Structure 1
């Protein structure tokens, strides 16, 4: 439990400070268990990766209008699993406003979601929103301005909120206001609190052009009832390898397996890359699922790394969701995804705001 406690408390102070911030008072929580899904809403997913956000929004009864992803393997995965939607496999800079509007086919867009990289913000001394290294964030803003969704969702690492002592967050909020979205909030969400068997925190920006407060999902799980790694993958531990469902893992020699056998929970096979080949704990949510320099975490019980399908289970991808490109590319796609169940809860919370005729679900 030591690993679970340290991971869940990592952003506690940041979350508390954020909730008290004068820049962050326009949000409320929704009990997503009571949200109806009878009416289909629309969404688009840019910087989509393999589609963690898309899976979650689809589960919440949203129709996917289009997605954007430059990586060929993630794009192949999107096409396999979302054959009915428009997908742009090219740099977002090359996609015009007319392209995006055309993909909407005359339908208003309820939600535009995505996770643009923001590397330029992390450079010492750089606070300019128009820094060339922030062009992908600016492209996200361009897509929002072009599509005019009722709401947008932008996810990122929590560290973005403390960059430049908060100046980065202020610059982001200012840019959204400039394009017609003055009502923006940001919260740090812990995936394990929303039924994901994994400790993974994300900064979730939500904005709207309706003059409304922004909805966030109310936690349904707490430390006492978090789903554990065992709940998610123990039925696969003795299952044979199968490329047909991505249940493949890096082949180990007998010597390598013997080395792995000596790695304790929370320990790593290496001193340098301590996040690679790190053994998971049993009985608690997994550590953040990731692919690190070709290495993934060691199984909590077996002397091997997790399979791609096991990693996908920890990210709450359905078993029927197939990742294209082979094992190594699947690892990369899964490790970079947003947990599907967390995305679904965000999508359900947004439903409450988009459909104000529903009964009040404010906590």
Structure 2
């Protein structure tokens, strides 16, 4: 993926910094946005920061024009990038996530302050922070609101906060995230993008209070036609052998590159796991294993577990098959493991692959990945869905270009 600058001589490239960049989902979505009447994106990635070396290598491979700092953000000086118009980033969310048991004292929770440090020094026109929805109920979010008050560090910014669902923007995945948009007070306030899709699109009616909602939404995108119809005839494969060499991005010698379409990686499940997959019907989950036995190697084996049988409540997604007729559940870092959620193929007796994970997140077929298959899965699961990032790029562009049109030639 290369830099995309506007084809119009009247539209200056918009410089973007991506913090906690991961593989570059945020940046990929911004580069995918092309304004009406143009043939290329106005957004140009100039810098990125990512601590994980495999993810940093992936970012560098896809955005070679950007300066990538593969290390601690606390050691990065953004001085060379003062004047960049946009800062993106999703500080690590493990301390806020329900899966992380919401540890208030998790040191990763404080990394958002490094994000603020960069915003303070660079003084972008707009910054966007993405995190799990629980972030909005944290003490850190309360601190963030305080520092935009008069006399505080970011007093020149106005915050807008909403929880957005990726499925509402054409992503075949239901994934809710808190999106904080900070706009410099010299500009019109950047509003969150209007949803383009709706779970109940057939029942939609125009909103009388908002003339901008006059265009009817499309139905949510089902994961079956969007992803599994594409992979139905793609052969499962082993991970290609590509050890990193001296010419690898950033000189980090990470394995790869691997294109997205090369990540349809087969697993070799144990016989018990395979028997469980076969016993779970379309749309089913761990509850369908209760009371079922199978003969394996001359032994009668119970398919469920005492723990699963003891819990009638809790997640019904464990060992669940994806529903082909609706968006997938949230793609997480271990979505290739069905014991972690509803990650079984809708009809085939196997978990989804890294290839399918990447397609659900919206990554292009020719995206380049670096790292082991486990590291790549982590990069995919941690990424901002491309469709959501693209929608956010549209409102950022609108704010910045509205300002440009208001200025005399």
* TM-score (structure 1 length as normaliser): 0.78
Indicate conservation of the 8 Å contact 1:154/1:204, yes or no. Answer: yes
Note the C-alpha offset of 1:119: 5.9
- Number of the residue aligned with 2:292: none
- Number of the residue aligned with 2:294: none
Flag the 1:176–1:137 CA change in 2: closer, same or farther, 3 A: farther
Indicate conservation of the 8 Å contact 2:335/2:357, yes or no. Answer: no
Does residue 169 (structure 1) correspond to residue 141 (structure 2)? The answer is yes
**More displaced 10-residue stretch of structure 1: 193-202 or 232-241:** 232-241
How far apart are the structure 2 equivalents of 1:125 and 1:42? Answer: 35
Flag the 1:73–1:304 CA change in 2: closer, same or farther, 3 A: same
How far apart are the structure 2 equivalents of 1:241 and 1:90? Answer: 35
How far apart are the structure 2 equivalents of 1:218 and 1:352? Answer: 13
SS at match of 2:352: coil
Indicate conservation of the 8 Å contact 1:247/1:310, yes or no. Answer: yes
- Number of the residue aligned with 1:151: 126
- Number of the residue aligned with 1:21: none
Does residue 50 (structure 1) correspond to residue 96 (structure 2)? The answer is no
How far apart are the structure 2 equivalents of 1:277 and 1:238? Answer: 24
Residues 279-333 of structure 1 show CA distances to partners (whole Å, capped at 9, x for unaligned) of 2112111111113497251111111111111110100111111222132222111
Flag the 1:279–1:44 CA change in 2: closer, same or farther, 3 A: same
How far apart are the structure 2 equivalents of 1:138 and 1:48? Answer: 16
How far apart are the structure 1 equivalents of 2:102 and 2:327? Answer: 35
Alignment equivalent of 1:135, drawn from 87, 96, 110: 110
Note the C-alpha offset of 1:109: 1.2
How far apart are the structure 1 equivalents of 2:46 and 2:385? Answer: 21
Does residue 307 (structure 1) correspond to residue 280 (structure 2)? The answer is no
Flag the 1:250–1:290 CA change in 2: closer, same or farther, 3 A: farther
How far apart are the structure 2 equivalents of 1:274 and 1:143? Answer: 41
Greater C-alpha Rg: 2
Indicate conservation of the 8 Å contact 2:109/2:140, yes or no. Answer: no
Alignment equivalent of 2:62, drawn from 62, 77, 81: 81
- Number of the residue aligned with 1:228: 222
Gaps of 5+ in 2: 1-5, 34-40, 202-218, 240-257, 287-303
How far apart are the structure 2 equivalents of 1:333 and 1:125? Answer: 22
Does residue 240 (structure 1) correspond to residue 235 (structure 2)? The answer is yes
How far apart are the structure 1 equivalents of 2:90 and 2:377? Answer: 19
- Number of the residue aligned with 1:4: none
Q: Kindly tell me the number of residue pairs found equivalent between the two proteins.
A: 313
How far apart are the structure 1 equivalents of 2:96 and 2:169? Answer: 29
Note the C-alpha offset of 1:274: 6.6
- Number of the residue aligned with 1:5: none
Flag the 1:274–1:150 CA change in 2: closer, same or farther, 3 A: same
Alignment equivalent of 2:280, drawn from 263, 271, 278: 263
How far apart are the structure 2 equivalents of 1:125 and 1:263? Answer: 35
Indicate conservation of the 8 Å contact 2:336/2:351, yes or no. Answer: no
Note the C-alpha offset of 1:351: 0.5
Indicate conservation of the 8 Å contact 1:160/1:169, yes or no. Answer: yes
Indicate conservation of the 8 Å contact 1:121/1:168, yes or no. Answer: no
Gaps of 5+ in 1: 1-35
Q: Which structure has greater helix proportion?
A: 1
Indicate conservation of the 8 Å contact 1:118/1:136, yes or no. Answer: no
- Number of the residue aligned with 1:33: none
Alignment equivalent of 2:330, drawn from 282, 288, 291: 288
Indicate conservation of the 8 Å contact 1:156/1:202, yes or no. Answer: yes
